[in-house]
Amino acid sequence: GSAINPYSREHPAEFIQTGISTIDGLNTLVRGQKLPLFSGAGLPHNEVALQIARQAKVLGSQEPFGVVFAAMGITHEEARVFMDDFERTGALRRAVLFLNLADDPAVERLITPRMALTAAEYLAYEVGMHILVILTDMTNYAEALRQIGAAREEVPGRRGYPGYTYTDLATMYERAGRIHGRKGSITQIPIMSIPDDDWTHPIADLTGYITEGQIAIARDLHRKGIYPPVDPLPSLSRLMDAGIGKDRTREDHKQVADQLYAAYAEGKDVRGLVAIVGKEALSDRDRKMLEFADRFEQEFIRQGSEEDRTIEQTLEIGWKLLATLDEAWLTKVDRKTLEKYHPAHRPAPPGTERKVPA
């Protein structure tokens, strides 16, 4: 296959539920999008990839959905973990797997993602399925590209990668999308473990130019024992608005996401302030925002590796957290939405007292 002709492209739309709150709620994956996952050495990106592969689904539709999973440069142990997980959970029934081991020839590492995308194109455009392609780890792919380029004595570019690395990556990433007149679609999640957590690394940098956002796996959250350690602040889904809202997820989705993002960002700023002036010097608002940030990480970001949250559950957790803040601070939510969804304004069940979460 080849990159989709821009003239034939249909704009990505429709929500894909991954069951992970930080993705579904704040950085929504949209059908036909390419949304990379930026990670680092020792972080649980493969666990997150497996959870997405198990749980991803298209809501309110009878259209068939499947997963194409391609792993490059992995160890025998990782390959065994991948296969065992797909078989144990039953995800193998709707999945196609391509596994390239670390001791396989480098040229096979270059072929693996292309074979996976060719299989995805057949399933999407010939069979009419909606396919989620997960590619891990693109850093291993790029290392193979550099290795073969050196063997062919090609002129190296940044950090020794071939000068055509951008074009090479684009020929794969641009195979994601939707085509006019075809029922199926291809959505991509390429995963890369960035050396030294350096987002200016050529592979992460070039990937960012081609794709439509990024999901960031954060080392500080991982150190706290929080799984999945997805940091919503540096994460971004540029096509989120095309997949959320009334008749897709829920009408309050955008406003809840904006308010959660703003409140968490303020809470993290307060953490930095505490390190300088101490908690005693904080205002009442600062204390509330600091508490919000802690609870947000423990209740919204943290979830079990087998926990598949619906978008309604994700939004309800968000509202529960926002209810701990003064309503006057919820500037991203309009009054009509506040009165409809805020726990303090909802009618209490018969025979019970209405309580706002503490």
- What is the model's pLDDT at position 1? 73
Backbone angles phi, psi at 40, to 5 degrees: -150, 170
The answer to whether position 213 is within a domain reads yes
Question: How many angstroms separate the Cα of 103 from the Cα of each of 69, 71, 73, 74, 140?
Answer: 19, 13, 8, 9, 12
Tokens 């792993």, located at residue: 71
Region of 40 please: left (phi>0), alpha (psi -120 to 50) or beta.
Answer: beta
- Gap between the Cα atoms of 203 and 68, Å rounded: 22
The answer to whether position 350 is within a domain reads no
Rg (CA), the chain: 22
Same domain as 318, residue 229: no
Last residue of a domain, one of 242, 267, 297: 242
- What is the model's pLDDT at position 84? 96
- Gap between the Cα atoms of 253 and 110, Å rounded: 39
Q: Is the pLDDT of residue 353 over 90?
A: no
Number of domains the chain contains? 2
Q: What is the CATH number of the domain that holds 228?
A: 3.40.50.12240
7-11, 60-64, 225-229: range with lowest mean pLDDT: 60-64
Same domain as 185, residue 272: no
Same domain as 10, residue 71: yes
Average pLDDT over residues 169-178: 95
* Neighbouring residues of 238: CB distance < 8 A, sequence distance ≥ 6: 212, 213
Q: Is the pLDDT of residue 357 over 80?
A: no
Last residue of a domain, one of 213, 242, 271: 242
* pLDDT tens sequence across 114-160: 999 999 999 999 999 999 999 999 999 999 999 999 999 998 898 99
In whole numbers, what is the pLDDT of the chain averaged over residues?
93
Contact call for residues 208 and 173 (beta carbons, < 8 A):
no
Same domain as 309, residue 183: no
| Host domain of residue 25 | 6-242
- What is the model's pLDDT at position 324? 96
- What is the model's pLDDT at position 276? 87
Average pLDDT over residues 158-187: 94
% of the chain residues with pLDDT over 70: 97
- What is the model's pLDDT at position 347? 73
- Gap between the Cα atoms of 232 and 234, Å rounded: 6
* Neighbouring residues of 153: CB distance < 8 A, sequence distance ≥ 6: none
- Gap between the Cα atoms of 329 and 253, Å rounded: 18
- What is the model's pLDDT at position 164? 94
Q: Is the pLDDT of residue 61 over 70?
A: no
Q: Is the pLDDT of residue 217 over 80?
A: yes
- What is the model's pLDDT at position 350? 57
Tokens 């641009």, located at residue: 174
Last residue of a domain, one of 210, 242, 274: 242
56-60, 120-124, 172-176: range with lowest mean pLDDT: 56-60
* pLDDT tens sequence across 252-265: 999 999 999 999 99
* pLDDT tens sequence across 296-334: 999 999 999 999 999 999 999 999 999 999 999 999 999
Contact call for residues 123 and 66 (beta carbons, < 8 A):
yes
Q: Is the pLDDT of residue 202 over 60?
A: yes
Q: Is the pLDDT of residue 277 over 60?
A: yes
The answer to whether position 351 is within a domain reads no
Same domain as 263, residue 114: no
- What is the model's pLDDT at position 2? 83
Same domain as 124, residue 52: yes
- What is the model's pLDDT at position 275? 84
The answer to whether position 358 is within a domain reads no
Same domain as 274, residue 235: no
- What is the model's pLDDT at position 167? 95
